Each structure stands twice: as structure tokens, then as C-alpha cells.
Amino acid sequence: MAIYQAPLRDMRFVLHELLDSSALSQLPGYEQATPDLIDAVLEQAAKLAESELFPLNLPGDAEGCHFENGVVRTPKGFKEAYRIFREGGWTALACDPDYGGQGMPHAVNFVVEEMISSANLSFGMYPGLSAGAYRALYLHAEDWIKQQYLPKLVDGTWTGTMCLTEAQCGTDLGLIRTRADPADDGSYRISGTKIFISAGEHDLSENILHLVLAKLPDAPSGTRGISLFLVPKFLPGEDGRPGPRNGVSCGSIEHKMGIKASATCVLNFDGAKGWLVGGKHQGMRCMFTMMNAARLGVGLQGLGVAATAYQSAASYAKERRQGRSLSKAQAREGGEADPIIVHPDVRRLLLEMRAVSEASRALAYWVGMEIDQAERNPDESRRQEAEDLVALLTPVIKAALTDHGFEAANNAVQVLGGHGYIHEWGVEQLVRDARITQIYEGTNGVQALDLVGRKLGQDMGRLLRRFFHPVAAFLAKHANDAALAAYIGPTAKAFGRLQQATLSLAQKGMANPEEAGAAATDYSKLFALVAWAFMWCRMAAVANAKLAQSEDDTDFYKAKLDAARFFMARVLPRHSTHFQAVMAGSETLMRVPAESF
């Protein structure tokens, strides 16, 4: 059966030993966020994920959401779980105390998001969308909107959505047709239809706040003419409570491959009353606030699924007996068969899941820490450095971690064999749930284009230097460290290939944009491999130092080094394939006539 126990020891290793979470309490406003407090928060989050959310994952998938007469009901147990979630303050964790939030660092919230995604990806969609709506309003809305709406989002009594997609446009939002007509009272009347709206209608909260992209009558064409509007499901009364129903309704819910307990809705706006957020024709700037945060959140979803997949597969492999070990040294006493953990190919699958997951966790938490630096550090130059690194790594994390989540889920099915293919065992659900993460919030191909087309050349490569420089400095510092030779050498080779590929793309892409487009996905994968390798080098350095200093927890640190060696020997060499594909150019793709497909 699928199992999940929050990997708190590994999470603490990354936060405290690798990234030095004590630095968070040195930032203005985070003085109380000490390692001890962070650990206490994570322990409570683990209990919530393991005891309340994970038990609902399999039955929630089986039941799905119900749509009747415009009303959506979530699966049995979800409403009570959300009440516990909300009353526990989890919707307020990283929100501003001025609006009722707890003011915890984003890095801590990242860890909690991973746990929620591991335990119940469908459930996590509801508060996840609210967090994005909160952030967009917090950064862009007028003060009266913040005062009226943010406290309700923070305490979770109201939830939020992102309403972007329409039938004729997904990635190309310049094609939207939803319109916003000015009203005499300063509000707007929103009309149009949005599709694929996660958490667009449900029974978990008393009101839903829709953030809707629409165009004003005088809007310029394309994305330059998009504006953002706040459209409540119920218009607040004078007492602040939900009043009359607004002109927005759910037309249907989608019947999906996965995340079936998350309501994905068609929303019809029929002259619904809304308010402008962030200025006329500034909708894309505001929406990217939500989308960039959401892309990192989706990356954490991929990591969360991978964690559950690994735990489930490893547990099964240690119990399931099939065949005999190829080596007497691995054979177990008694019985006609050995646990399948003795077989090399099963170990290959498990170690790949584990090695990439642990590197992904380190990479994601590093970015979470940098978000806190970008927002709170008093030094302007340090804030800019952190902001640049986050911007650069956002598409890498979204694509790499969701690709890994899907692959890890597939590998878990492979380990379980026929049982993995059966619904009641809970592992095939992970495959179905993980698949959407590679698609929504911008497909992984779009993330690759963002990395190559926008981030690499921005400000003459300034963003790129925020990653390349620390990698180069670390490799140079440890070049002659014999204890790290098994990690530094392979990483240096892969890093050199990444630098060469970057230079080639810069030269070819200026002459022919299709060169960059053709290379984008392989370049993104090459970048991710180097980023993972860099994190493993750093983790190996910490593990070696700990083993030299103390006899405590030696098994944990030795396991870290084992995973690092596996990554360098078995995963990182894939950089050669991606490098060769990047350097191959666009001709083999673009010379084929469309009629040939």
C-alpha cells in the first residue's frame, strides 16, 4: 500500500545543516523564526499531513467531486479536514501579521507545501490557490481591497482562484475574450467564460474570490491589453459577511485523469461585479506574481509526489519476496525467495528516486531561503542577488521537479509490479496525479522557453551569473579536496558542458531564434542536472564534515554520501546526451514539412 511519513530528518538536514536556517531569524520581521520554532512547526505539519490528509487521498480519488445544479461537493472528509487545516492556522502561515498571518518565512512554508503535496495533492490545491490570490492582492491591490478581503483569505474562511484560461487560449493569454465594462460606481461588470479553473467552486469555504483576467473596452491588443479583476462569488455585505450572489456560476466540472478530488471548473461570468487590481492594462504583471509563486508551488508538488512514491516503493521492496539474490552475500536466511530489495534493478529504481528527490529538496529549499532574502534583507544588493537567483531557477524547478515526480511515480509502479497497477494499492494514483504538474502553470516546454528565451539573456546575463558564480567558486575551493573528489570532478565536467551550451545558445539564438527554441528542453534538463549535482556536492561536504566531527547519526550521513555517489555515477552522466542535443541545432526539427506529420 502507499505510505507516507514526513521525512523530517532530511528536511532538517537541508534547512539547518546545509542552508543554515538560523540566518532567517536575522532578517527583520523573522526574529522569532529560530531553528527550534521551525522544527516545532514542521512536527505539527507532519502530524497534520500524516493523520488528517493522507488517509483521505485514496478515497478522495475514488469518490471525486460531485456537481449538481451548479453546486460542487468535495469528497467525504474533505470539509472536516479543511476545517482542521484552517483552524490550525495553516492558511495563515506565511502571511503578513497585519492581516492576521503568522509571518513565518517562505522557506518554512515551502517545507509545509511539500508535506501537503505528498499527503494529498488534491486537497493542497484549495489552500494553494488561495495563497496565490493572497499574494497578488497583497502586492497589487488598493488598500481598501486589502483591508476587506485579505483577512478572510488569511484565516481561510474565504478561498481564492486564478481565472486565466479560456477555450481558445491557454498559454497565449493575449487571445482572451472575457471583457470588463466600467460601471458608474467605479466597479466593473465582468462577462465571459473561463475553463480549467482549479478550486473554482466547492463547499470548503463560505466565499470564493476569483482573480480574473479580462480586457477593458479600450484595451490594446494582445497581452498589453489585459487587466486583472477581483470578482467575489458572494458580494460582501456591510457587516463583511457574504451577501448577495454575484454574477458568476459554475457551468460544469472536468472529469480528469488525476487530482480528482480537486474541483476543476468551467466558470461563467455574466455581468459579475468586480474591482480592478493593479491598474488598467497591468493584468499580466499582476498575474505573474501569482504564476511565478504557483510555478514554484507546482515544483514542490512534484517533489511531494516523488517522496510518497519512494517511501511506498522502498517499503514494498523490503517486504515483497520474489526470486533469489544473484549474490549469496545478499541472500536472506530461510524461505524460498528473497525480498526484491536484493535485486540490482530494483535498487537502481529506488536509488534514482531517492537521489534526485534529495537533490530536488535541497534546490527547492535554497530558493525558498532566497525568496526570504529578496523580501527581507536590509542590503539592497543582497536583495537583488536573491531576486535574480529565484527568477532564474523558477522555471528550472518547475520543470525538473515535476518531471522527476512523474518519473518517480512511474518507477514506484514498476517496483510494485502488478500491485502498482491496481488502484487499491494507491501507487497508480500518484502517476495520474503527478501528470498534470508537467502541464499546468505553463507546460514544462514553456518553462524551458522561459529559461532560454528570457532568463539567460536578461540584463546581459546578470541572472545567469547568480548561479554560475557560486557554482564556479565552490568547485574551485574544493578542487583539491580528496574527500570530495568523487563529486567535484563529475560536477565540474557537467558544469563545463553547461557553460559551453550556454555560450552556443547565446551565439546561435541571436541569429536564429528557432535554434534556442529547439534546444530549450534539453538545455533545461542539462541545467537541472548541474543544479542537482551542485546541491549534492554541498550536501556531501556537510556530511563529510559531520562524520569527521562526531559519531552521532553516522548512518544518516553515510547514506547521504551513498546517494551522492549514485547520483554522480548513474544520473549526472545524462548531461552528455542533453549537451549533444543542444549542440545538434534546429535543422533536424524544423526542416521537416508540417505535411509530413
Domain assignment of residue 3, yes or no: no
Domain contains 470:
yes
Collapsing DSSP to helix, strand or coil, 258 comes out as: coil
Interaxial angle between packed helices 428-435 and 380-416, expressed in degrees from 0 to 180 and rounded to the nearest 10: 140
Q: How far apart are CA 94 and CA 105, in angstroms?
A: 6
Residue carrying the nine cell digits 509502479: 413
Given the residues 441, 514, 515, 551, select the one marked as catalytic.
441
- Nearest-angstrom CA–CA distance, 377 and 509: 36
Is-contact 259 75, C-beta < 8 A?
Answer: no
Helix and strand numbers, DSSP H then E, in the chain: 18, 11
pLDDT at 335 over 90: no
Would you say residue 208 lies in a domain?
no
Cα–Cα distance between 553 and 573 in angstroms, integer?
A: 30
Model pLDDT for residues 244-295, shown as the tens digit of each residue? 999 999 999 999 999 999 999 999 999 999 999 999 999 988 888 888 889 9
3-class state of residue 332 by DSSP: coil
The reported pLDDT for the residue numbered 330 is 63
Q: Are strands 207-215 and 158-163 parallel, antiparallel or unpaired?
A: parallel
- 461-465: average pLDDT: 95
pLDDT value for 331: 62
Instruction: State the Cα–Cα distance between residues 453 and 517, nearest whole angstrom.
Output: 8
Is residue 567 within 8 A of residue 359, CB to CB? The reply is yes
In a domain, 241, yes or no: no
First to last CA, the chain: 42
User: Has residue 11 been placed in a domain?
Assistant: no
Q: What is the mean pLDDT of the chain?
A: 96
Contact (Cβ atoms closer than 8 angstroms) between residue 345 and residue 330: no
> What span, in angstroms and rounded, lies between the C-alpha atoms of 109 and 502?
33
Residue 340 near residue 417 (C-beta atoms within 8 A): no
In the predicted model, is pLDDT for residue 224 greater than 70? yes
- Domain of 375? 349-583
Mean pLDDT within 11-34: 97
The least confident of 86-100, 420-434, 546-560 is 546-560
Tell me what the mean pLDDT of segment 425-448 comes to. Answer: 97
Q: Which of 167-171, 357-361, 366-370 has the lowest mean pLDDT?
A: 167-171
Decide if pLDDT at 38 tops 70.
Answer: yes
Q: What is the pTM of this model?
A: 0.97
When mean pLDDT is compared across 169-173, 300-304, 346-350, 363-367, the lowest value belongs to 169-173
DSSP secondary structure code for residue 69 in this structure: T
Grid cell for residue 473: 567558486
pLDDT band, very low/low/confident/very high, at 375 (cuts 50, 70, 90): very high
Total structural domains within the chain: 1
Instruction: Provide mean pLDDT across the span 70-98.
Output: 97
- Per-residue confidence band for 109, with pLDDT thresholds at 50, 70 and 90: very high
| Angstrom distance (rounded) from CA 3 to CA 313 | 9
Angle at 330 between CA 329 and CA 332, to 5 degrees: 105
Which residue reads 494582445 in cell numbers? 222
| Predicted pLDDT at 212 | 97
The answer to whether 370 is a known catalytic residue is no
pLDDT for position 336 = 82
Stretch (H or E) spanning 68: strand 66-68
Cβ–Cβ under 8 Å, residues 103 and 97: yes
Reported as a pLDDT band with limits 50, 70 and 90, residue 209 is very high
Q: Which helix (H) or strand (E) holds 67?
A: strand 66-68
- C-beta atoms surrounding 96 within 10 Å: 16
Q: Residue 14: is its pLDDT beyond 90?
A: yes
Residue 66 lies in a domain: no
Cβ atoms of 287 and 301 within 8 Å: the answer is no
Q: What is the pLDDT of residues 506-534, one digit of tens each?
A: 988 878 889 999 999 999 999 999 999 99
Q: Burial level of 375, CB count in 10 A (0-12/13-18/19+)?
A: middle
C-alpha cell recorded at residue 480: 583539491
Q: What is the pLDDT of residues 53-62, one digit of tens each?
A: 999 999 999 9
Least trusted range by pLDDT, from 227-236, 316-325, 517-526, 535-544: 316-325
* Cα separations in angstroms, 165 against 177, 192, 309: 10, 11, 31
| Residue 488 lies inside a defined structural domain of this protein | yes
The four Cα atoms 196, 202, 204, 205 give a dihedral, to 10 degrees, of 90
**Rounded distance between C-alpha atoms, residue 59 and residue 423, angstroms:** 10
Asked whether the beta carbons of 341 and 318 are under 8 A apart, the reply is yes
Could you tell me where the beta strands, DSSP code E, fall in 173-311? Answer: 179-182, 188-198, 207-215, 226-232, 234-236, 242-245, 248-253, 264-277
Spatial distance between the Cα atoms of 538 and 567, rounded to a whole number of angstroms = 13
Q: According to the model, what pLDDT value does residue 550 have?
A: 83
C-alpha cell at 101: 498571518
Position 333 confidence tier, pLDDT thresholds 50, 70, 90? low
**pLDDT value for 329:** 60
Which pLDDT score is estimated for 334?
Answer: 65
Is 90 exceeded by the pLDDT of residue 18?
Answer: yes
- DSSP 3-state percent helix, strand, coil across the chain (nearest 5): 65, 10, 25
Strand partners, 158: 207
- Quick one: what percent of the chain has pLDDT higher than 70? 99
Residue 360 forms part of a structural domain: yes
pLDDT tens digit sequence for 140-183: 999 999 999 999 999 999 999 999 999 999 888 889 999 999 99
H or E element in which residue 294 lies:
helix 283-319
Confidence check: pLDDT of 3 > 80: yes
Cα(220)–Cα(174) distance, integer angstroms: 10
Q: Is 380 within 8 Å of 276 (Cβ atoms)?
A: no
Q: What is the pLDDT of residue 332?
A: 64
